A and B are shown apart, each in its own frame.
Chain A
């Protein structure tokens, strides 16, 4: 069972407490949400990289050198 540390500042006492079912459910929901965000970020990065490579290939086909493309 996951635990948390609760530090009571009025006494200075730190206590290890098991998470409630509600807290565990919230953690699991957070994990799912975070995974979805990371997947969306990675997909966007991959799409951007693919578009850049495609654009560079088209420019090269028009006769631009690598240095000229990099200078854009």
Chain B
């Protein structure tokens, strides 16, 4: 049970955007981590949002996705990704709206393979809008010390996007 829920660090992307957001030197004093993201991409269409742990290229054992694009519901699975995937709002979506994502990292300091659970949604005043649930197990046994968010396809994360990392303890 989560007895504490504390903001560790937060950032807002400034003018000009940013290629990625990296949380480094993550304290090892919590039980779980939660990353809350509100993002918009400077590229059109999908605005793929990628998250990577410890800058590691270690691949996932399992990644399962359930996602919708406004027209259909889809599922996908992968076993060789070094990222977990979601959607930001794309540049050609409705102006001044942002996506919302939460990534949950249970037991991030232990020596077992790391797992991540993610849910996200975009806003768009049109048919195409995305929802995605995903979970993954990484071949990473080291404690999580850094988390990186980026937009695949070389786009930048747009100005005013925010990311906040929370620590959650199982004891006070």
Interface residue ranges, A against B (CB under 8 Å):
2-12, 14, 16, 19, 23, 27-28, 30-31, 34-35
Question: CA separation between A7 and B25, bound complex, in Å?
Answer: 9
**Which of these binds chain A: B103-111, B115-123, B124-132, B148-156?**
B148-156
Question: CA separation between A34 and B154, bound complex, in Å?
Answer: 9
Known contacts A5-B11, A9-B9, A9-B165: does B22 contact A30 (CB below 8 Å)? no
CB-based contact B20/A9 at 8 Å: no
Q: Indicate which residue in B9, B21, B25, B152 contacts A4 across the interface (CB closer than 8 Å).
A: B21
B58 contacts partner chain A, Cβ-Cβ < 8 Å: no
- Which residues in chain B, 41-62, are within 8 Å of chain A measured between CB atoms? 48
CB-based contact B152/A30 at 8 Å: yes
Known contacts A14-B11, A30-B153, A31-B153: does B165 contact A5 (CB below 8 Å)? no
**Distance (Å) between the CB of A40 and the closest chain B CB?**
15
CB-based contact A6/B24 at 8 Å: yes
CB-based contact B25/A9 at 8 Å: yes
> For B14, B18, B27, B156, which residue has the most chain A Cβ atoms within 10 angstroms?
B18
Residues of B in contact, count (CB < 8 Å) = 24
Question: CA separation between A27 and B156, bound complex, in Å?
Answer: 11
CB-based contact B20/A5 at 8 Å: yes
Question: CA separation between A35 and B7, bound complex, in Å?
Answer: 37
B19 contacts partner chain A, Cβ-Cβ < 8 Å: yes
> For A9, A19, A23, which residue has the most chain B Cβ atoms within 10 angstroms?
A9
**Distance (Å) between the CB of A69 and the closest chain B CB?**
21
Q: Indicate which residue in A3, A8, A28 contacts B16 across the interface (CB closer than 8 Å).
A: A3
- Kindly list chain B residues whose C-beta atoms are within 8 Å of the C-beta of A14: 9, 11
Knowing that A7-B11, A9-B27, A30-B152 touch, tell me 19 more A-B residue pairs with CB under 8 angstroms. Answer: A4-B19, A5-B18, A6-B22, A7-B9, A7-B10, A7-B165, A8-B9, A8-B24, A9-B9, A9-B24, A9-B26, A10-B25, A12-B8, A19-B19, A27-B19, A30-B154, A31-B154, A34-B48, A35-B153
